[in-house]
Structure formats: structure tokens, C-alpha cells
Amino acid sequence: MSNQPDYYVYVYIDPRNHEEFYYGKGKNQRKEDHLFDEVESAKTERINEIRKEGLQPIIRVIARGLEESEAFLVEKTLLWKLGRQLTNKSTGKFAEKFRPHNKLHVDLAGFDYIEGVYYFNIGEGENRRWDDFRKFGFISAGQGTRWRDAICQFQQGDLVAAYLKGKGFVGIGRILQKAKPIREVKIAGKPLTQLPLFAGSLANIDSDDSCEYVALVHWISSIDHNTQKAHWKPKSKIFTTQLVRASLDNQPETIQFLEERFNIRFSDIRQQRNSID
């Protein structure tokens, strides 16, 4: 008995217009089985239409000598490529690893960017306050291209750990909307600039380079630092920086500290997001 991989991937082609209308994987004589299929389906209907013209579908093997897992992956790649043009009912194995159809016009987490966990330096001052961030659900940075570019790197779905200089971490949130100039941001249907903010954030409002930029956030866990002590541990390996934004991917001590102090698990938060999506 041969131990060589013997799976293949095949295609059915309509000889009337050379359109590919079905992909499959199998071994031995699997590729011919559809010619004798009597179950009603778009595939059998197409085959019958071809036969009424006195023709037969063109059947071609596209890849051969495959392990079954390899055949599944090749099949799924071809199914994804032609999508709705095909008569296949199943989307194929590994479907969850492929980009959804009709989503090439948008950036998708896991495909175009990786949802990360990020440190965010609040940078309190006359243009921004944690009290506003927490109450109305946003973060902001700006008053210069360096700080604007930093906050604009956040993607929808990113998780942020908000840090208040000299105090500690005050909130864990998820980015709901990428950063935009403050003049363009609305919360609950009202312009953010018209809400009762502690910090006005109106400086340079008409300048795309120098205005404040705002990203909307859902706070998963947060504290009022006026009445609660911010989370910090002196003389530890907990991460901090003067940068506006920094990845925590390589900061396991900080991730563990945040999970313990805010009573969360970042993995659980991601799973909850995936189940909703």
C-alpha cells in the first residue's frame, strides 16, 4: 500500500462559456461522482443544463498528490476566490481563516491589522482630562503632528490601558472608532465640543495638524482617580513611558498586573468580541 498523499482538488467547468462553477477535493474517482448526483442543487441543475445542449462538464484536476488537510486548504482558497459565482453549498474547511466576502473595502482585525493591547498616556492638561474621557467614553491627543499620528494608529477593536502620569493606570477600554479631529466627533448625537467638558480641547480646532484628535472608547473597567487610588506598583517591572501610545505585547508583567488589578482577562475580552462579531 502506498503512503504517498493521494488527495486532489478539482474543478467543474461549463463548456458553453468556460466558467468554473464547482470546486471539490477527493481521491480515486470522487471528481466524477457529481455526474450521477440526483440531489437537487444549483450544481446538478447546471450539469443538467449543460447536458441538454448535448455537452458534458469539463472536469479538471488543479492540484494533486496532497494530504487531506492540504486539499482542504487549496479547495477553500479557490472557493474564496470565486465566492458567489460557484454552486458549492459549503464554504469549505478553514473558512474562519479567510476574509469574509464583500469586505475588501474595509480594514478587518486579524487580516489587515492585529488587535493589540496598548498603553495610552493620558497626558492631562488644559486640552484633556481623564474625568472627561471616563464620563463620555473617549481618549484624545494632539496639538501637534507627533501626538496626532500616535493616536491615529489605534484601530477599531484595540484594547487600551489608560495611564495617568504620577498616579498609575486608571482604565481598560476598547477602541470603538478611530481617531478623528475633535470638531468631527459626536457622542450620543451631540458634537463633543458642545458637551460639558472639564478641559475644552478647542485649541487649534480648525487645523488638521494641530487640533485635538479623539478616538471613541468603551471603558470595560475604570476608576475615578479623585476617589480611588490609581493602580500602580512602585519599584516594579510595570511598564511606563513618555510616549502617547506603546504596545504591551512584550510586557507580560504589566499584562498580569492589569488583569489582577482591574479584575479582567484580555483573552476573555477578545473572545467576547469574537462571539459578537
Q: What is the 3-state secondary structure (H, E, C) of 213-267?
A: EEEEEEEEEECCCCCCCCECCCCCCCCCCCCCEEECCCCHHHHHHHHHHHCCCHH
Residue 141: what pLDDT?
A: 93
Q: What is the predicted pLDDT for the residue at 277?
A: 46
With CA atoms as reference, report the closest residue to 120 among 84, 154, 157, 72: 154
CATH architecture of 117-276: Roll (3.10)
Q: Read off the C-alpha cell for 142.
A: 494632539
| Mean pLDDT computed over every residue of the chain | 85
What is the per-residue pLDDT for 182? 94
Q: What pLDDT is attached to residue 99?
A: 66
Low-confidence ranges of the chain (pLDDT < 70): 1-3, 83-115, 200-201, 271-277
Q: What is the value of pTM for the model shown? A: 0.61
pLDDT of residue 111: 64
Q: Can you give the residue ranges of every domain in the chain? A: 7-97, 117-276
Q: What is the pLDDT of residue 127?
A: 85
What are the b/e assignments for 86-112, b being 16+ CB within 10 Å? bbbeebbbeeeebeeeeeeeeeebeee
pLDDT of residue 276: 41
